[in-house]
């Protein structure tokens, strides 16, 4: 069994880059390197990861495990990876095959789940029994932690509030009803919150409402000025996002939602989302339910490392 106090090698695998870090024996995370990911070829991917670890091996122990956070789904029974944006390991048993290549223990988990675990154990959710991690980045994702452990559901999906035909088809803007047609989602569904709820979704929503292209940063800046069109877009966005989030809170019993992703850095937006959610849940709370997460930038790596610690300590 791996020493639970050994430094942990942390990797964040995205469609463009591999980020490498180390979690020390005192659970402090240090980012060491970032390099382009060979996203199309398994052999090149393994070689790049191996070279990065060797380059920084002074930071690790011989038995240090590799903890990986990545977009995609890990099948609980087989370990098969579903990550269509990274063909190099799509439909491979990533943990098992990479462990053989590196001669080190490897764990792999979804980045939203890892973020949720980091927030529950060491971030804004510390001390809460049930924590929902809500990603509002380019898209919408989530993870669920109960009693300090990730809840791993069917097919590796839990807390995934961004997908499924759940979006409203009508919102109220300045007291008047406005129809919002459901959008086709890359997942194959129609009406997923992911199409209207993340940063790209906010931009999509603004186009639907005003036939105008603007970045999410521009929309939020104009909302804060305030500018009428952006105000209307954010009114609609808050309705679209708050209702499924409140529904998720009612179902899971989460006493805190830690928000990650780029939109989490806009404090007034998350405060407005919290107010909207508090009006929708069955029972509001005196404390904020929806708050920016502590680990906005490296929560996935932190959570993966903490998951490796949990696995080693069993």
For the chain, list the domains and their CATH numbers: 8-110+298-313 (3.30.420.40), 124-292 (3.30.420.40)
Mean pLDDT, residues 99-127: 96
Decide: 128 and 117 in contact? Cβ < 8 Å.
no
DSSP for residue 156? G
Structure tokens at 47: 């070689």
Long-range pairs, 14-17, Cβ under 8 A, ≥24: 14/70, 14/71, 15/39, 15/71, 15/85, 15/86
Residue with token string 């009114």: 235
Mean pLDDT, residues 220-245: 97
- Give pLDDT tens digits for 236-260: 999 999 999 999 999 999 999 999 9
Decide: 2 and 310 in contact? Cβ < 8 Å.
no
For residues 220 and 230, give the distance between their C-alpha atoms in angstroms, rounded to a whole number. 7
Arithmetic mean of pLDDT over the chain: 94
For residues 274 and 279, give the distance between their C-alpha atoms in angstroms, rounded to a whole number. 9
Which pLDDT does position 297 carry in this prediction? 83
Residue with token string 């209207």: 196
pLDDT at 74 over 70: yes
The values of phi and psi at residue 196, to 5°, are -130, -10
């Amino acid at each position: 069994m791996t020493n639970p106090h050994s430094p942990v090698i942390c990797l964040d695998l995205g469609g463009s880059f591999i980020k490498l870090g180390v979690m020390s024996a005192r659970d402090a995370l240090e980012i060491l390197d970032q390099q382009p990911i060979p996203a199309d070829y398994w052999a090149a991917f393994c070689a790049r990861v191996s070279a990065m670890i060797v380059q920084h091996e002074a930071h690790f122990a011989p038995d240090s495990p590799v903890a990986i956070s990545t977009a995609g789904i890990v099948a609980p029974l087989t370990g098969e990876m579903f990550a269509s944006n990274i063909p190099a390991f799509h439909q491979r048993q990533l943990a098992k095959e990479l462990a053989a290549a590196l001669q080190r223990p490897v764990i792999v988990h979804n980045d939203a789940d890892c973020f949720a675990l980091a927030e529950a154990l060491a971030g804004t959710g510390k001390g809460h029994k049930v924590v929902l991690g809500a990603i509002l980045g380019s898209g919408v994702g989530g993870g669920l932690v109960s009693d300090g452990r990730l809840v791993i559901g069917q097919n590796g999906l839990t807390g995934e509030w961004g997908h499924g035909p759940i979006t409203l088809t009508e919102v109220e803007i300045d007291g008047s009803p406005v129809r919002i047609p459901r959008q086709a989602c890359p997942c194959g569904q129609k009406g997923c919150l992911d199409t209207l709820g993340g940063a790209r979704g906010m931009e999509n929503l603004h186009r639907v409402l005003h036939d105008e292209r603007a970045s999410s940063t521009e929309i939020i800046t104009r909302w804060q000025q305030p500018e009428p069109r952006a105000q209307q877009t954010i009114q609609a966005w808050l309705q679209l996002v708050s209702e499924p989030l409140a529904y998720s809170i009612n179902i899971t019993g989460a006493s805190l939602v830690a928000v990650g992703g780029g939109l989490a850095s806009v404090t007034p937006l998350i405060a407005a989302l919290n107010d909207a959610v508090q009006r929708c849940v069955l029972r509001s709370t005196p404390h904020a339910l929806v708050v920016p997460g502590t680990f906005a930038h490296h929560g996935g790596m932190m959570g993966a490392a903490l998951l490796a610690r949990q696995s080693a300590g069993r």
